[in-house]
Amino acid sequence: MSVTGVVSDSQCHQPQCELCTTSGGDLLWQNEQCRVVLVDEPGYPGFCRVIWKHHVREMTDLDTETRNGFMNTVFATESAVRQVCTPDKVNLASLGNMTPHLHWHVIPRWLEDQHFPAPIWAAPRRDNTLAAAANLAQQLRQALNQKLGVSA
């Protein structure tokens, strides 16, 4: 087992990989292993992703302690999103079919959002009426630093 707690960690930091070369969103918090970013998704203010920094495809490729630490970050992100955005529901999703980086979507949902109660990837049911507050990223950063310790 490697020092990062990853059982199999192949092809790390490929120069052509978007999530190796960019943060993948507005960086809110990070540690050595993962980062939380705010996704720019119209109609979904507060949509965050928790992204594993290395190429790991499946949650069970992480050892138990490392995986629990990753999920702790996901749950802290859910908590921060609830605190800052007060959504009607939070959706957590991990698909990862398009990138070799494990990542979790933390999606605040509102009864009046474009897709509710369907997944956000379904066909829209109504027009977007939701906009982000100007200081949303700063509020989420502050909440994450309180819950997880100061970002690296």
For the bound state, the minimum distance from the C-beta of residue 54 to Zn ion, rounded and expressed in Å, comes to: 7
Distance, CA of 116 to CA of 91 (rounded, Å): 11
Which residue, 18 or 88, is less far from Zn ion as judged by CB?
A: 18
SS (H, E, C) the chain: CCCCCECCCCCCCCCCCHHHHCCCCEEEEECCCEEEEECCCCCCCCCEEEEECCCECCHHHECHHHHHHHHHHHHHHHHHHHHHHCCCEEEEECCCCCCCECEEEEEEECCCCCCCCCCCCCCCCCCCCCCCCCCHHHHHHHHHHHHHCCCC
For the bound state, the minimum distance from the C-beta of residue 108 to Zn ion, rounded and expressed in Å, comes to: 26
CB-closest chain residue to Zn ion: 17
Which residue, 39 or 130, is less far from Zn ion as judged by CB?
A: 39
Which residue, 54 or 141, is less far from Zn ion as judged by CB?
A: 54
Query: Under rule CB under 5 A, which residues in 1-30 are in contact with Zn ion?
Result: 17, 19-20
Using CB under 5 A as the binding criterion, the count of chain residues that bind Zn ion stands at 3
For the bound state, the minimum distance from the C-beta of residue 58 to Zn ion, rounded and expressed in Å, comes to: 15
Which residue, 2 or 146, is less far from Zn ion as judged by CB?
A: 2
For the bound state, the minimum distance from the C-beta of residue 103 to Zn ion, rounded and expressed in Å, comes to: 11
Which residue, 44 or 52, is less far from Zn ion as judged by CB?
A: 52
Distance, CA of 129 to CA of 47 (rounded, Å): 15
For the bound state, the minimum distance from the C-beta of residue 102 to Zn ion, rounded and expressed in Å, comes to: 11
Residues in contact with Zn ion by CB under 5 A are 17, 19-20
